[in-house]
Amino acid sequence: MNLVTRIGSRQSQLALIQTHWVRDELQKHYPEQAFPIVTMTTQGDKILDVALAKIGDKGLFTKELEQALLRHEVDLAVHSLKDLPTRMPEGLVLGAITQREEPRDALVLHPRWQGTLLAELPPGAVIGTSSLRRLAQLRHRFPHLTFKDIRGNLNTRLQKLDRGDYDGLILAVAGLHRLGWADRISEVLDPDISLYAVGQGALGVQCRAGDERVLALLQVVHHRETALRCWAERAFLRQLEGGCQVPIGVHSQLVGDELTLSGVVLSLDGQQRVFGTQTAKVTTEAEAQALGESLAQTLRAQGAEAILQAIFATVGRS
């Protein structure tokens, strides 16, 4: 009898593209097994008229998939790693982190601005983003621009852009590449403009703790170099108790066994900014996490603690 391993996924086009990639890799390595995909809608998919930061981010795009795992309705779940909270429900683990796509943010412009850089847009140009991380960094760097919240899948967002509701959007390069819209990218934002979200560009595959069969299967999609970077990034975020309600960005680079992690914490209005960088020799998950925690503690001491406390006093802890 063929073994069946059920894969949980959100129903969005991008989520399914990501899940199909994981399924196809598993099928290629284990042709004798079946990998049916079970789709579901998450809270974050249903609430499209409220800014993400106002909803809270405890499993906004993951909770329903996690519950299905715990109920044994699926055997693994594929997430955009940036959506996966750094603290997981008891009984679940991160079984694999896939090779990272380009993690940086991109500027996508209305056709009338084609060929223009973000720094060249005129005062009052309207930029759409649903991310406090992007918003605070761009407010810090480009206070003359106007920023407006935008929700919905990438198709919907691009439609709103093209009909003239916005002059430009800030989106993840990885998502645009996976959906085949790389030609819409006007500019890839360097870290000095926008540090990216923790885990952005990578997929996280979640499964039940102790499920040795599934954990063994997932090793064929696990990418060690990406995992070392993302373990450090996630430890940094976890130590800061951050999420989508706190503007926190990262940039990481692994050269040999030297991992360099940069991080930034900003106030909601972008006026206050604390940035730091640390490098360490990293070969294990524990060493990567130690680097992330060390950088977080350094930034706290340099002023991030006051910024975080002010944000938590305003919006509460997610």
Weakest-pLDDT range from 39-43, 137-141, 215-219: 39-43
Q: What is the pLDDT of residues 240-253, one digit of tens each?
A: 986 667 899 999 99
pLDDT band at 315 (very low <50, low <70, confident <90, very high): confident
pLDDT of residue 155: 87
Q: What is the pLDDT of residues 186-199, one digit of tens each?
A: 999 999 999 999 99
pLDDT exceeds 90 at position 1: no
pLDDT band at 42 (very low <50, low <70, confident <90, very high): low
Taking all residues of the chain, what is their mean pLDDT, rounded to a whole number? 92
| Residues 72 and 211 placed together within one structural domain of the fold | yes
Q: 124: burial class by Cβ within 10 Å (0-12, 13-18, 19+)?
A: exposed
Structural tokens at position 306: 């006051």
| Residues 138 and 206 placed together within one structural domain of the fold | no
| Residues 69 and 210 placed together within one structural domain of the fold | yes
Mean pLDDT across the stretch 93-118?
97
pLDDT of residue 215: 98
pTM given for the model:
0.91
> Does 193 fall in a domain?
no
> Does 274 fall in a domain?
yes
Distance CA 225, CA 220 (A): 14
Mean pLDDT across the stretch 157-172?
96
| Residues 178 and 269 placed together within one structural domain of the fold | no
244 compared with 112, residue with greater pLDDT: 112
Mean pLDDT across the stretch 201-219?
97
| Residues 122 and 251 placed together within one structural domain of the fold | no
pLDDT of residue 130: 87
Q: Which of 234, 9, 44, 13 is nearest to 130 (CA)?
A: 44
**CATH (domain of 170):** 3.40.190.10
Indicate the DSSP class of residue 111.
G
Distance CA 302, CA 296 (A): 10
Q: Look up the domain containing 72 and give its range.
A: 1-99+202-222
pLDDT of residue 50: 46
Q: How many domains does the chain fold into?
A: 3
Distance CA 243, CA 230 (A): 15
> Does 184 fall in a domain?
yes
| Residues 79 and 206 placed together within one structural domain of the fold | yes
pLDDT exceeds 70 at position 227: yes
Instruction: Give catalytic status of residue 49 as yes or no.
Output: no
- Given 24, 49, 75, 83, the catalytic residue: 83
Query: Using alpha carbons only, what angle is made at residue 243 by residues 264 and 43, rounded to the nearest 5 degrees?
Result: 150
pLDDT exceeds 60 at position 48: no
| Residues 218 and 92 placed together within one structural domain of the fold | yes
> Does 197 fall in a domain?
no
